[in-house]
Every structure is written in structure tokens, then in C-alpha cells.
Structure 1
Amino acid sequence: MFHSLPDEYVRAQIAAGALVLFGVLRVIGAAVAVQRGWRISIVTRSFIGAAVVFCVPELVGLFGSFPVSHQALVVLEGKAAGCALALFCAPIVSHRLGYE
């Protein structure tokens, strides 16, 4: 018998993982940028690009095959939500820590 997790659980777990991944990396990136004298706007743009690259496999799966497209859509929604939230909140945390 096959049991699968509900879409909400999968979406929430993927979003939490992307939030932690990109949130922590963005704060570390801001700290490194301050130490090396890089512009914060370059760091922000590079993390936006990394978030898009992070979501590309699900976009390919979404448009590539029909039976897997529902699962790819759920994972894509989770990744996109987690990345968007992380890239919104991480600059606030970086600013509070004095890196921006």
C-alpha cells in the first residue's frame, strides 16, 4: 500500500529548508562582503540568481512531464516561498547585525 504526505506538509518542509539555507547564506554573504569591501547590491543580486537556479529543476520537471508535474509544482511552490521569504528577511537580520 502506498502512502504519501499531503502537499501542505511537503510544501512547508521545502519552504523551511529553503528559508534556512538562503537566510543563513545571505547573512554570511553580507558578512564576507563587508570584510572584503564588496557592494551589498552585488551580493543581493547574486543570491537572487542563486534562488532562481535553485528552482530551475522543478521548472523543468513542471514543463517536462505530465505525471510528475503535480509533485514538481508543490516543490516549486515551497522553494519559491522559502527563497522569497529568506531574501526578504535576511537583509533585515544583516542590517541588525551591522553588516549592511
Structure 2
Amino acid sequence: MFHAFPDEYVRAQLAVGALVLFGVSRVIGAAVGVQRGWRISTLTRCFIGAAVVFCLPQLVDWVAYASHGALVELQGKAAGCAVALFCAPIVSHKLGYE
């Protein structure tokens, strides 16, 4: 008998994973960037590019094969990346890195 996880669980799990991955790495990137004199706008663009690359396999799978599972994964990853890249600069600013 085959059992699948509901879409909400998959979306939530991938959103939390992307949120933690990009949130923590963005704050660490800001701390390193301050020490090395990097521009914050360049750092932000690099992390947006990394988020696109992170979501690219599911986007290609969804476009090429019209896979419902890939769409669910893409929605979770994109939501997590968007929240992380919105909130991480706020946390970095509060910590004094931006």
C-alpha cells in the first residue's frame, strides 16, 4: 500500500529548510562582508541568485514534465527563500552587521 505525505507537509518542511538555510547563511554572510568591506547590495544580489539556483531544479522539473510534486516543492522552497531573504537583513541590522 502506498502512502504519500500531504502537500501541506511537504511545503512546510521545504519552507522551513530554506528559511533556516538562507536565513543563517545570510546573517553569516553579512558578518563576513562587514569584516572584508563588501557592499551589502552585492551580498544581497548574490543570495538572491543562490536562491534562484536553489529553486531551479524544481522549476525545470515543473516546466518540463508538469509534475505536481515539483510544483509543491517549488512553492515550499520559494516561500522559505523569500521569507529568509526578507527577514535576514533585519536580523543582521539588529546585530550591527548592516
Q: TM-score range by the shorter chain?
A: over 0.9
RMSD: 0.5
Residues 26-45 of structure 1 aligned to structure 2 (within 5 Å) = 26-45=26-45
Please point out which of 73, 80, 83 is paired with 2:81: 83
- The TM-score normalised by the length of structure 1 is 0.96
Moved over 2 A (4+): none
Distance in 2 (CA, whole Å) between partners of 1:59 and 1:65 is: 10
Distance in 2 (CA, whole Å) between partners of 1:63 and 1:26 is: 29
Distance in 2 (CA, whole Å) between partners of 1:5 and 1:79 is: 17
Identity %: 78
Which amino acid letter does the alignment assign opposite residue 10 of structure 1?
A: V
Distance in 2 (CA, whole Å) between partners of 1:63 and 1:96 is: 40
Unaligned runs of 5+ in 2: none
1:32: how far off?
0.4
Residues 7-18 of structure 1 aligned to structure 2 (within 5 Å) = 7-18=7-18
- The TM-score normalised by the length of structure 2 is 0.98
